[in-house]
Amino acid sequence: MPPVITRRRLLAGAAGAVGLAGAAGAAAWAGGLLRPDPQLVAPDADLVGRVEAARRRAGAGTVTATLTPRPVSLDLGGPVVSTWGYADTAPGPLIRARAGDLLRVEVANQLPADTSVHWHGVALRNDMDGVPGVTQRPIPAGGRHVYEFTAPDAGTYFYHPHSGVQLDRALYGVLVVDDPAEPGGYDAEWILVLDDWVDGTGRTPDQVLAALDSMGGMHGDGGGMGHDMGGMPMSGMETMTSPLLGGAGDVAYPHYLINGRVPAAPVTLTGKPGQRVRIRLVNAASDTAFRVALGGHRLTVTHTDGFPVVPADTDALLLAMGERVDLTVTLADGVFPLIAAAEGKTGQGLAVVRSGAGDPPPATARPSELDRQVLNTAVLRAADPVRLPERRPDRTHRLVLGGGMMPYRWTINGATFHDAEPLLVRYGERVRLEFVNRTTMFHPMHVHGHTFAITGTTGTPGARKDTVIVTPNQTVAVDLDATNPGQWMTHCHNIYHAETGMMINLAYRT
Ligand code: C2O
Ligand code: CU
């Protein structure tokens, strides 16, 4: 029976297979023309421009960069893979600005496919958010696009395509926004990006997605769990579970990387004993949360998702896809493994920290810190200057997370993205989002264009974040001020979940 074609589906069809995007509610690119829903604030509405103008800092600079997504050959430190990247290394170029600066980034698409660039975590103007089908046209193969926006808040961010499962290639890079007034208080800074890697090892991410999708048509054969899907071992929640997360992922990756390297050929970070190092840690993986620890050290978490927290000491921490933390460590004397263990999976990423003499750790190093205190960023508390002021929500939206492996389909409020009713909000409101997880897997839920405050579950004031882990049967409530008008994707940052439906539009209405 053919599916019922709704208006939304029709618009989505006209916009083509844009992936991680579509045409829900707000505005659809159809035939190359933006067709706004007059009830909703368009991505390029006057109000968007006025809010942007108010963001500019007097005397702000302009930071320019060029990104050239293209087919590349990457040496992961042994395995050489053909993939798509922003550079001949992963991650792509570091972009660095000061809070209030204008960023002007030209994207020259040399991929054989449409692409886009999303500025994850940044409260930017909606028409620069990089969601094809919603905030812009896709950038066609051979095309160019200029992103120009003010980055208002200091912090550790990253950028990636919002097109299909392209993030699961080497298409990611870090954006650091420095606070001109920050005291600093550290001697060195290391930027570390975690990733799960499959592309060029016999399967592309699109083939992984197709294999997951096809499991829906394989009823009665055991669900496709744990058997080999044409060279790519796939397993489901039966095997990839974690005591901290429940179902921890859908894809068993052949490699886990730190700064683009497999553990057999890790990057080495050097310092001196007694130095205080700030580590900016980004999880750019598509289907993997990492448990991170540095052998012989305690970690002090100072920021999450860019925003400062009341500093918290821990042995290890859990970092889901799309989350970031800034850590401070005081270096001991010697050689130490920094491990990012794939949570609930087999394998890990490794970086070597060297502040003295000694042999490098083996690729399989497993410091005991990993099995001591493991911090979930959701329990962190906001630092005073960034605490969201107390206010009763004007409106509460419940987002019931549903779906599963059989068929491979993930939903919010019972619908996949193209069929989902937008979550309506008005400019100026305090909005509460309640993420209710009715699945057996964890979902790192991400909201574009806003930094919410975690509410209720832990102490107040809850940490300011843009991505939060929601474990099976858990409800996580977050509050945000609707001060950034436009149409904002709200989705699971498991790229395969988002792509197969777990995404909804947080829509400002007029
Ligand atoms: Cu990094 Cu729509 O997200
Ligand atoms: Cu998910």
Q: Which ligand has its closest atom nearest to the C-alpha of 161?
A: 1
C-beta 324 within 6 A of ligand 1: no
Specify the pLDDT at position 182.
80
- Complete domains list, the chain, with CATH: 54-181 (2.60.40.420), 190-198+256-380 (2.60.40.420), 385-509 (2.60.40.420)
Residue environment code for 482-504, b if the CB has 16+ CB neighbours within 10 A, otherwise e? bebbbbbbbbbbbbbbbbbbbbb
Residue 62 token pair: 């302009």
- Does 228 have pLDDT greater than 60? no
- Does 456 have pLDDT greater than 80? no
Specify the pLDDT at position 37.
81
Contact 56, 450 (CB under 8 A): no
Q: Which ligand has its closest atom nearest to the C-alpha of 159?
A: 1
Q: How confident is the model at residue 215 (pLDDT cuts 50, 70, 90)?
A: confident
Closest atom of ligand 1 to CA, residue 467: 1
Specify the pLDDT at position 420.
94
- Does 20 have pLDDT greater than 60? no
For residue 228, give Cα distances in angstroms to 218, 380, 460. 14, 40, 46
C-beta 322 within 6 A of ligand 1: yes
- Does 7 have pLDDT greater than 60? no
C-beta 497 within 6 A of ligand 1: no
C-beta 448 within 6 A of ligand 1: yes
**pLDDT, tens digit (0-9, with 9 covering 90-100), for 485-495:** 999 999 999 99
Specify the pLDDT at position 334.
98
Q: How confident is the model at residue 35 (pLDDT cuts 50, 70, 90)?
A: low
- Does 374 have pLDDT greater than 90? yes
Tell me how far apart the alpha carbons of residues 85 and 105 are, in angstroms, rounded to a whole number: 16
Closest atom of ligand 1 to CA, residue 20: 2
C-beta 162 within 6 A of ligand 1: yes
**pLDDT, tens digit (0-9, with 9 covering 90-100), for 317-330:** 999 999 999 999 99
Residue 472 token pair: 């099976």
Tell me how far apart the alpha carbons of residues 271 and 361 are, in angstroms, rounded to a whole number: 16
Q: Which ligand has its closest atom nearest to the C-alpha of 498?
A: 2
Distance from the alpha carbon of residue 222 to the mean position of ligand 1, in angstroms? 32
Specify the pLDDT at position 239.
76
Answer with the residue of higher pLDDT: 180 or 473: 473
**pLDDT, tens digit (0-9, with 9 covering 90-100), for 258-276:** 999 999 999 999 999 999 9
Specify the pLDDT at position 127.
97
Specify the pLDDT at position 58.
84
Specify the pLDDT at position 452.
98
- Does 237 have pLDDT greater than 50? no
The pLDDT of 30-57, averaged and rounded, is 81
Look at residue 53 and give its three-state secondary structure.
helix
Specify the pLDDT at position 457.
57
Answer with the residue of higher pLDDT: 8 or 409: 409
